[in-house]
Structure 1
């Protein structure tokens, strides 16, 4: 047990929210109950997720050492600090995903538990556009490529492989063959409908936008035979997605935060040899939550492209897009006074 009572953090002129590049100044207060050797007393900034998913946590940023030496019994000591607020990820309070920021102070005490304390603060979208961090797993979206369905020869090959497997393992006859057939039939129907449309080109421009802006989806093709198109559509989908548990108990949870489907074409007969071109505009809501990507928690946006030839199944492609935080727009539920933010002694089971 440490002779150092819980640390505390006081923030000078605390604001309701901070922006990337702001300075947070304050004091770490230590009240030793006995003479205590402190290898080092540090403070840093860090973010941590909460909600339904496994916890993701960023690397400490801007860490500074405030003190190293002996803390005298009964003598409260104050250690001033000043840290620069990083460029994200921004504070986000969603439905199953939370991103919270903390000041994290820790004393390294030999042969005892290291006293630690965290004080929450809000990192908000700046008033002017600046480069922001969207999370450690974020990757810019790639331009849509032709995502051809499984070719017919591969479908037949898998059916033959299943037949051979059941020859050697007859007990699996009523498991392998039905499973392959149930997969092969829709794949074959999908291949047929795309084959009829000939070469196709899907464009999404731009692939990165701000809330309140729009993206344009266009689809070009030149059919090789007569096609009875039931519809062509594009849906802009926003969702929170988390992974919880591990191993065989790992589960995926999703929560839809936005969905808007626009039809590029409905009930049309496509004539072979005549190029077709259709487009639609998809709008992000003005208060849309920005993209966030970590190992177990995501806020993600995508365009789902769907095409249905009458009498066949729906062909579907999903393409990610990036939504950047709109300057000055907040994405957290909390409207508390700064004095209401609690200090936390570190534990591993805190989710929110």
Structure 2
């Protein structure tokens, strides 16, 4: 018979907060006497989603070495492991983040037994903080309260202009040239119809680029800013758009928004499925009143709105092909129906512990 390994957590609900000590004991029952060997634990987290799964194996933690096991007698090894600072346990609509405590008993070159238990890593609450503060021994270290959102995508806080359509001048010129070549070569009726379509598409792309470039030149160009870029749930963020037009301008509308969504990427082996899955978690839009849409020439005009992140908002999370994304955006439309949009991501941390 092989050795029997059991894992017993002190907290039956398996709920732990960042920086707390995860305590319990490992029980080993060996059918025959053995000496030597070791117990090694690790805290691992993984992502399950409609897209690509992802898993992170934590650093190994040696719980005991040189074990002396009596035949048929249980041996208990207590442990204390600090709970990590993130990412937090999350059960969403299209992605799930889970934590697992794994223990492996290495009792010889051919004997390895493993056991595991799921834990819930949840944010701090006022009640949990008050109970923990009464015991210095179990109080979390200050550095452990710094939230870790996981391996976020590169340049997570960069701004980007939208929409990214075929409006580049090279695209317009290329399509127009292709249509002209087809007409010059005196192609058949079908080719001429295709040439006319290419001509319309090319000119549309070229004019769209010119109109948007003209808008950026007319308005300054517009610039979106967010303060702070890293905020906690329940806090406020200020979203502002600055303009510096060369002549008086009156905007038709300016809409500022705060949104959160789950975004996952499907496996590459499924070419017939949509590449991205998205699920909206939060959305708030503000239309700026008309009195603030008049822009005087030659000086910077800043239009801003204040948004409060919901107290129970899920924190930001990132992993390859899986993300819980918070972002703000600004959309400007002029009287001649030219539009401009810019989006910027922000990081949302759990509420203040």
TM-score (norm 1): 0.75
Shift of 1:273: 4.2
Matched, 1:304 2:329: yes
User: Within 1, Cα distance between the matches of 2:256 and 2:320?
Assistant: 28
User: Within 2, Cα distance between the matches of 1:177 and 1:33?
Assistant: 83
Matched, 1:93 2:91: yes
Matched, 1:217 2:239: yes
User: Within 2, Cα distance between the matches of 1:162 and 1:102?
Assistant: 55
User: Within 2, Cα distance between the matches of 1:307 and 1:252?
Assistant: 27
Shift of 1:67: 4.7
Deviations 1:153-174 (A, max 9, x none): x933333334556759997858
User: Within 2, Cα distance between the matches of 1:176 and 1:63?
Assistant: 64
Structure 2 unpaired stretches of 5+: 130-141
Report the 3-state secondary structure (helix = DSSP H, G, I; strand = E; otherwise coil) of the residue aligned with 2:54: coil
- Superposition map of 1:1-352 within 5 A: 4=2, 7-14=5-12, 17-32=15-30, 40-61=38-59, 63-67=61-65, 74-108=72-106, 115-127=113-125, 130-137=145-152, 142=157, 155-163=168-176, 167=181, 180=202, 183-246=205-268, 249=271, 251-266=275-290, 268=293, 270=295, 272-273=297-298, 275-328=300-353
Deviations 1:202-225 (A, max 9, x none): 321111111111111222223234
User: Within 1, Cα distance between the matches of 2:93 and 2:225?
Assistant: 32
- Of residues 18-27 and 170-179 in structure 1, the stretch that sits farther from structure 2 once superposed is 170-179
Is contact 2:42–2:57 with CA below 8 Å preserved after alignment? no
Deviations 1:76-131 (A, max 9, x none): 44333221212111222222222221111224577879543320112122357831
User: Within 1, Cα distance between the matches of 2:4 and 2:257?
Assistant: 51
User: Within 2, Cα distance between the matches of 1:132 and 1:66?
Assistant: 30
Deviations 1:192-239 (A, max 9, x none): 322222343432111111111111122222323454421112100111
Shift of 1:285: 0.9
Shift of 1:295: 1.1
CA RMSD of aligned residues (A): 3.9
Q: Which has the higher helix share?
A: 2
User: Within 2, Cα distance between the matches of 1:65 and 1:283?
Assistant: 45
Shift of 1:40: 4.7
Deviations 1:9-50 (A, max 9, x none): 111354552122222222223445678999654211122222
User: Within 1, Cα distance between the matches of 2:12 and 2:36?
Assistant: 28
Is contact 1:45–1:102 with CA below 8 Å preserved after alignment? yes
Residue 112 and residue 214 in structure 1: after superposition, are their counterparts in 2 closer, same or farther (change >3 A)?
same
Is contact 1:6–1:116 with CA below 8 Å preserved after alignment? no
